[in-house]
């Protein structure tokens, strides 16, 4: 009887290991939307809109540039797992209000971007958009702020590790993708991190080394990525670093739940890195 139980558990373990390294894992982690809704950007004020296309390998990525008159700094936004770039009007407006021009874009398989949605393309897409935006719009590396949200904090950290920038703003971040998955599904703790597919987005390893000025903002009521991830990142990170926990915020629209605290943190961070 004991042998049958052990054999059954071993089979379940092996099936789970295979599932982790199948397309199923990506589908569980990301939830892209193909809904294209430019009207969502009609509410944005203080910037001129321009839609453009970025090539990422053989794929074409949709992106929008919000140009602020007289702006000397650019923010490139790497959005989260769900929806698409058209859900980023609030965040774009917050950055525009602080005199940054803004680029938002969609990974492969999101919105009007071509190709299949897959975690494996995130880093390639992020670097392609960053480089294209810097070249096309003429902002110097030390005038570019990298912004990552949720799963977008992974590619944001990858870009910051490979490209010079003025600052790194992580909203609702995780320590690593395997650890975030384990936070959501405790059963996954039986699997070692090395068994999870790549990219594993080891944000915590990146912040332990040299990095640009870092702002971490997280909602205390986040039920998708626990606030413990932000605290662990902050503890591990070298200076300069700032952590802001928003008491009323969940995972989505973090700044909207505590607008005064969010705005103050963002203003302070940007004023320091612009000087």
Place of tokens 């990142």: 233
**Predicted TM-score (pTM) above 0.75:** yes
Place of tokens 């973090």: 254
User: All domains of the chain, ordered by start, with CATH?
Assistant: 2-274 (3.40.50.1820)
The C-alpha atoms of residue 239 and residue 208 are separated, in whole angstroms, by 9
The C-alpha atoms of residue 234 and residue 244 are separated, in whole angstroms, by 10
Between vectors from CA 8 to CA 6 and to CA 11, what angle results, nearest 5°?
Answer: 110
SS3 state at 211:
coil
Instruction: Please write the tens of the pLDDT for every residue from 38-95.
Output: 999 999 999 999 999 999 999 999 999 999 999 999 999 999 998 999 999 999 999 9
Place of tokens 């008491």: 247
At 158, which helix (H) or strand (E)?
helix 153-162
Mean pLDDT of 179-188: 74
Confidence of residue 6 (pLDDT cuts 50, 70, 90): very low
The C-alpha atoms of residue 248 and residue 3 are separated, in whole angstroms, by 50
Q: Do 40 and 87 form a contact (C-beta atoms < 8 A)?
A: yes
The C-alpha atoms of residue 46 and residue 30 are separated, in whole angstroms, by 32
At 9 the pLDDT is 44
The C-alpha atoms of residue 136 and residue 207 are separated, in whole angstroms, by 29
Specify which residues 104 forms β-bridges with.
64, 77
Instruction: Please write the tens of the pLDDT for every residue from 18-41.
Output: 555 555 566 667 889 999 999 999
Length of the chain as a residue count? 275
At 180 the pLDDT is 83
Residue 4: pLDDT above 90?
no
The C-alpha atoms of residue 125 and residue 56 are separated, in whole angstroms, by 6
Q: What is the DSSP letter of 223?
A: S
């Amino acid at each position: 009887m004991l042998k049958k139980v052990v054999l059954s558990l071993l089979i379940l373990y092996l099936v789970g290991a295979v599932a982790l390294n199948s397309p199923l894992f990506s589908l569980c982690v990301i939830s892209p939307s193909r809904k294209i809704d430019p009207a969502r950007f009609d509410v944005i004020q203080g910037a001129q809109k321009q839609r453009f296309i970025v090539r990422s390998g053989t794929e074409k990525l949709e992106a929008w540039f919000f140009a602020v008159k007289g702006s000397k700094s650019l923010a490139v936004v790497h959005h989260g797992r769900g929806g698409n770039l058209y859900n980023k009007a609030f965040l774009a407006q917050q950055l525009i209000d602080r005199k940054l021009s803004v680029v938002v874009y969609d990974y492969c398989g999101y919105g009007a971007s071509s190709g299949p949605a897959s975690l494996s393309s995130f880093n390639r897409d992020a670097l392609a958009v960053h480089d294209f935006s810097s070249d096309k719009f003429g902002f110097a590396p030390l005038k570019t702020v990298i912004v990552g949200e949720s799963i977008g904090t992974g590619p944001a950290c990858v870009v910051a590790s490979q490209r010079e920038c003025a600052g790194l703003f992580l909203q609702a971040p995780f320590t690593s993708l395997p650890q975030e998955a384990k936070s959501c599904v405790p059963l996954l703790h039986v699997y070692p991190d090395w068994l999870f597919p790549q990219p594993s987005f080891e944000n915590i390893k990146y912040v332990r080394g040299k990095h640009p000025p870092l702002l971490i903002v997280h909602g205390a009521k986040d039920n998708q990525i626990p606030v413990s991830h932000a605290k662990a990142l902050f503890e591990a990170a070298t200076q300069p670093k700032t952590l802001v926990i928003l008491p009323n915020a969940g995972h989505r629209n973090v700044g909207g739940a505590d607008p005064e605290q969010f705005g103050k943190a963002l203003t302070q961070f940007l004023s320091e890195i612009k000087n």
